[in-house]
Structure 1
Amino acid sequence: MRSPSSSFKLFLPDHSWRNAAGIFLLTTLFYFVGAELRLVEALSLFWPLNGVMAGVFARYSYLNRLHYYAVSYVAMLLYDAVTTTWGMASVVINLSNMVFIVTVASLVMRDKRLNHQTPGPINALRIFTYCLIAALLCALVGALGSVRIDSQTFWPLYADWFSEQFSTGVLIVPCMLTATLPRMDRAVRGDHFLPIGALIVSVMASVAIGGAGSLAFPLPALIWCAVRYSLPATCLLTFITGGVEIILVANSIINIAVEAPLSTPMMFSARLGIATMAICPVMVSVSVAAINSLIHQVSLRADYDFLTRVYSRSGLYEALRHETSFLHARTLTVMLLDIDYFKSINDNYGHECGDRMLAAFAGKIQDVVGEAGLVARMGGEEFAVVIPTLNARQGRELAEQIRRAIELHPFTWHQKTLFLTVSIGLSSAKAGFSPLTEVFNTLMAEADDYLYRSKKAGRNRVSAPETPEENVAESSQSSPSM
């Protein structure tokens, strides 16, 4: 099995020749795709090249070099030199492609330099705006170059060029910026494909019903996809849907003109409508991702104590509900720990010192317990440890190990050495078939009682119920010799 690090990557930092070859191949490939979809000599029905290359240059910052842009431009010129007779007009037309690519890539890279996350709910609108600006500039140069080889005047060409560049840019650039390899984190069920099924049906309805309003039929299904699927999947489905709709409209399969023939203004309107529709599911998807991220952060804050970075009380119960390895343990041990005379530390050295001490204390407990058990702050200076052990004696030995670790590792505050001690009460029992939370509550109550005994006996000690082994040992020591 290949490791992720060994997987093939088209672009790599500090590999100039490889990167140049990759840019040349991508440019040639998508130029070919666009050329095969041309409506007129210079204008394509669907021109993916600019959106793809803008996304590539924006995504890989180390490609934003003049010589890499030059490689892409040369690839365009060479393709035209082989397949067309445009002559010098090709220089201007392909310069318009570079205007779109450089404008979008530069604006997205500017966002990254300003530490804006891409994509995000606001940046999705920025990408929409960036494609609009780039399409306006690209159309200006492209229409000027196309006048020489096309019978149309400047303004109709400008409208066609702008609508095509803007619509394909809005569809493709978000897809390029978010594209990732698919991951199967959970089992696939039939209902996972319902949004895609609804999307297919909505496109079919657009074909069957027709009219300008039919272009918006896929929007509810795309919103459903945005809610159910990841952002990369949503961007990909939006791109595919928008591209299919543009092709179907241009071939009059989706008849938006009804009784009139398809005209240039109608195609202009259709492209802009599809581009505007495309931004909606992307916005919904990034908003859902932001909400899920916020929920995750809130959940982490609830489950973990921010100061000590161990479980909170509620987080411990949640962990116990989902813990399965403890169910197979022979014995479950619960410890309740309390820092001795902690109030005097706060009073004498301040709460900042107390906070630092709590964090160091929790870290030391976690070091001793390791991955075998759970550590939680129950409140104030009181902590709990839940760990599977072979028997009650092993649990007590671990508690003693924690007590000694705290006693032997002083805490330094403002060049003063402070020695800590801890009182521990613990209890152990068979986990059995009861829910772990119930077993924990029972053991916790008993550990609390023995923690009180540790404090009453002078602190800095471990108190626990006597084990059967200890009872046997005491009996053998007290019995008269024969």
Structure 2
Amino acid sequence: MPSALTSFKLFLPDNPLRNAAGIFVLTTLFYFVGAELRLVEALSLFWPLNGVMAGVFARYAYLNRLHYYAVSYVAMLVYDAVTTSWGVASLIINLSNMVFIVTVALLVIRDKQLMKGRPDPINALRLFNYCLVAALLCALLGAFGSVGIDSNTFWPLFADWFSEQFSTGVLIVPCMLTVKMPGAWSLPKPHLEKWLPVLALIVSVVASVVIGGAGSLAFPLPALIWCAVRYSLPATCLLTFMTGAVEVILVANSIINIAVAAPLSTPMMFSARLGIATMAICPVMVSVSVAAINALIKQVSLRADYDFLTHVYSRSGLYEALKQEESHPHSRFLTVMLLDIDYFKSINDSYGHECGDSVLATFARQVQKVVGEDGLVARMGGEEFAVVIGSADSRQGFDLAERIRVSVANHPFVWRDRTLFLTVSIGLGSGNAESRRLTEVFNKLMAEADDYLYRSKKAGRNRTSARLPDEIMVAEPERGA
């Protein structure tokens, strides 16, 4: 069941009928939710539809088509036709909803196109501004359309429309852009320490109820920032949305009393919503920053562990990989190879360093191709490479080294209009290694491999030298090869 849930997709790029049906159902569902939260005939306490649909259209760029927007608009009109008697006013009111949806969706999609290399899925500060602009446009049209069906005049209606659209947009759109299926969430494990930020968030909301006053709306902010630092971006956006929505409902029902001995009025609700929206964007911004920093740290770590030119392990990366192997509690037979490209200096002298770099990269790919997933390949410096494999015995390691040597000798290296054939000298070191002493044994085998590499070079290069049981083995190229 969980696998079926995580694999389900409501929208598909090549299924327009399914997409249209999904948009119609989502629009109707969240229109119903908003309608059930109406304080008076025309206005709603919390209107999730616009934020949800703006997030949907922004997240799935292939839905950004006029006919899909039309489906959403028609769904709104159909719902109003069945449940209200607004008539022509419904056209204007629902058009204002579409203005918010289309404005946010187009601006977010534009952001994605201009900033493809960003490590985070949203730019929190820009999103805040986009919701602000969309809410202003939506409020102008919505208040104009509501004048005839509501007892309030234009400006009170405008204030209510704007504050509601802005606050719900800031709360919901980040969730829609980052939410993942349950199986992909990065939720904390069931340890009390992992849940402390959530517990602090609950306590802060309770404190807002107990203490009251306008300042109490900001009580959850430190806990939300703690959540942003400790949890993933999708989890932070979800917790921020839930906190803001709860606060809006508590304020509207005077459970959080922001006005001492005074009934809740529209200006107070306006202020409360704007305050909550401003608070809500802070943890999202922190979480985006943390995600960007983590991505940068990961990128720097990868650059340190891998050689930039050849894309195999660097010397430090090889040692890091070996340290990770030490956590596996079993012994093994280890073979360490040192490979040195023969007469590499003459390639640089004759064809230039650009050619030399190309040769190194191609050589590394060829070695990695032969080794496959059976071992680790690293560039130790210059034209010297190392291969570390777990083998059954020294003979198996020697045979792999020979396959590498022959493969390199038979592989043409093309540079512009020239074809070069390289050879490589190899030295081996082999021995038993316990996991907890893997790095220490590796260093000893490296010294042995270095000694036999020297023997291969001294014997004429293009050779593999190693200590096998009861003999020293030197494999030479076949004559005429």
User: What TM-score does the superposition give when structure 2 sets the normalisation length?
Assistant: 0.93
* Residues 412 and 116 of structure 1: CA distance in aligned 2, closer, same or farther (over 3 Å): closer
Deviates more, 1:325-334 or 1:231-240: 325-334
| 1:29 Cα offset (Å) | 0.8
Query: Following superposition of structure 1 onto structure 2, how do residues 6-405 of structure 1 map, counting pairs within 5 Å?
Result: 7-116=7-116, 120=120, 123-182=123-182, 183=184, 187-323=189-325, 328=330, 330-405=332-407
* Residues 401 and 93 of structure 1: CA distance in aligned 2, closer, same or farther (over 3 Å): same
* Residues 325 and 429 of structure 1: CA distance in aligned 2, closer, same or farther (over 3 Å): farther
| 1:276 Cα offset (Å) | 0.5
Query: Is residue 124–residue 285 contact of structure 2 (8 Å, CA) maintained in 1?
Result: yes
* Residues 6 and 121 of structure 1: CA distance in aligned 2, closer, same or farther (over 3 Å): closer
Q: Of 451, 457, 460, which residue of structure 2 is paired with 1:458?
A: 460
Instruction: Give CA deviations for 1:269-309 in whole Å, capped at 9, x if unaligned.
Output: 11000001111111111111100100011000000001111
* Residues 25 and 330 of structure 1: CA distance in aligned 2, closer, same or farther (over 3 Å): closer
State the alpha-carbon separation in 1 of the partners of residues 340 and 452 from structure 2. 12
**Equivalent position SS for 1:306:** coil
- Structure 1: which 4+ aligned runs deviate by more than 3 Å? 1-6, 115-122, 184-188, 324-330
Instruction: Give the equivalent residue in structure 2 for 1:480.
Output: none
State the alpha-carbon separation in 2 of the partners of residues 2 and 420 from structure 1. 53
| 1:63 Cα offset (Å) | 1.5
Instruction: Give CA deviations for 1:194-237 in whole Å, capped at 9, x if unaligned.
Output: 11111111100100111111101101111111111111111111
Instruction: Give CA deviations for 1:350-373 in whole Å, capped at 9, x if unaligned.
Output: 001100111111111111111111
Query: Is residue 117–residue 123 contact of structure 1 (8 Å, CA) maintained in 2?
Result: no
Deviates more, 1:430-439 or 1:126-135: 430-439
Query: Following superposition of structure 1 onto structure 2, how do residues 429-448 of structure 1 map, counting pairs within 5 Å?
Result: 429-432=431-434, 434-448=436-450
Query: Is residue 326–residue 332 contact of structure 1 (8 Å, CA) maintained in 2?
Result: no
State the alpha-carbon separation in 2 of the partners of residues 65 and 271 from structure 1. 32
> CA RMSD, aligned part only?
2.1
**Equivalent position SS for 1:428:** strand
State the alpha-carbon separation in 1 of the partners of residues 311 and 24 from structure 2. 50
Instruction: Give the equivalent residue in structure 1 for 2:477.
Output: none
Query: Is residue 326–residue 431 contact of structure 1 (8 Å, CA) maintained in 2?
Result: no
Deviates more, 1:404-413 or 1:302-311: 404-413
User: What TM-score does the superposition give when structure 1 sets the normalisation length?
Assistant: 0.93
State the alpha-carbon separation in 2 of the partners of residues 27 and 184 from structure 1. 25
**Equivalent position SS for 2:170:** helix
- Count how many residue pairs are aligned between Structure 1 and Structure 2: 471
Query: Is residue 326–residue 436 contact of structure 2 (8 Å, CA) maintained in 1?
Result: no
State the alpha-carbon separation in 2 of the partners of residues 295 and 252 from structure 1. 46
**Equivalent position SS for 1:335:** strand
Give the letter aligned to residue 304 of structure 1. Answer: Y
State the alpha-carbon separation in 1 of the partners of residues 468 and 105 from structure 2. 71
Query: Is residue 50–residue 101 contact of structure 1 (8 Å, CA) maintained in 2?
Result: yes
Instruction: Give CA deviations for 1:93-130 in whole Å, capped at 9, x if unaligned.
Output: 11111111111112112223334467849821111111
Give the letter aligned to residue 421 of structure 1. Answer: T
The percentage of counterpart residues that share the same residue type is 78
**Equivalent position SS for 2:359:** helix
Deviates more, 1:316-325 or 1:40-49: 316-325
Give the letter aligned to residue 80 of structure 1. Answer: D
State the alpha-carbon separation in 1 of the partners of residues 251 and 118 from structure 2. 32
Query: Is residue 123–residue 288 contact of structure 2 (8 Å, CA) maintained in 1?
Result: no
Query: Is residue 121–residue 287 contact of structure 1 (8 Å, CA) maintained in 2?
Result: no
State the alpha-carbon separation in 2 of the partners of residues 163 and 116 from structure 1. 32
State the alpha-carbon separation in 1 of the partners of residues 4 and 410 from structure 2. 44
Query: Is residue 428–residue 465 contact of structure 2 (8 Å, CA) maintained in 1?
Result: yes
Instruction: Give the equivalent residue in structure 1 for 2:475.
Output: none
Instruction: Give CA deviations for 1:330-358 in whole Å, capped at 9, x if unaligned.
Output: 42111111111111111111001100111
Unaligned runs of 5+ in 2: 473-481
State the alpha-carbon separation in 2 of the partners of residues 433 and 121 from structure 1. 40
Query: Is residue 329–residue 389 contact of structure 1 (8 Å, CA) maintained in 2?
Result: no
Deviates more, 1:406-415 or 1:418-427: 406-415
Query: Is residue 334–residue 426 contact of structure 1 (8 Å, CA) maintained in 2?
Result: yes
Instruction: Give the equivalent residue in structure 2 for 1:476.
Output: none
